[in-house]
Amino acid sequence: MGILSLFESGRIDLVSSEILLFEIGQNPNPTRQEYALNVIAKAKTFVMLDERVEKRAREFDALGIKPLDALHLASAEEACADYFCTWDVSFFRKAKSIPGLKTKVVSPIELIEEVESWQ
């Protein structure tokens, strides 16, 4: 079962954010942009970029996380997300090493395995 299937079946909830909308808007492919916007429109939680998110992102940035990734991760924490799923191996490795991280960073395979273990 894929991640979108897990979401569509109601087994997981998606979180969206202002920074995610910004990043989608940077995609030059209108078809991909439209698809991504349709997916995140179904998110149950939306995180606005505010001073608290920006402050936490600066902390992540100081630990070597790229600024845009830091904003995504800070937004996930702000939403109290259990998991942050990423394909980016470099980001994944750096984020996994952050002490006290409130959101567990996982690969797509790890997320699927985790959700499957809930049964």
Show the domains of the chain with their CATH numbers. 3-116 (3.40.50.1010)
Cα(62)–Cα(68) distance, rounded to whole angstroms?
13
- Residue 15 structure tokens: 């979180």
Per-residue pLDDT of the chain (119 residues; tens, 9 = 90+): 577 787 888 888 999 999 999 999 999 999 999 999 999 999 999 999 999 999 999 999 999 999 999 999 999 999 999 999 999 999 999 999 999 999 999 999 999 888 888 76
The pLDDT value given to residue 119: 66
Cα(20)–Cα(75) distance, rounded to whole angstroms?
9
The pLDDT value given to residue 34: 96
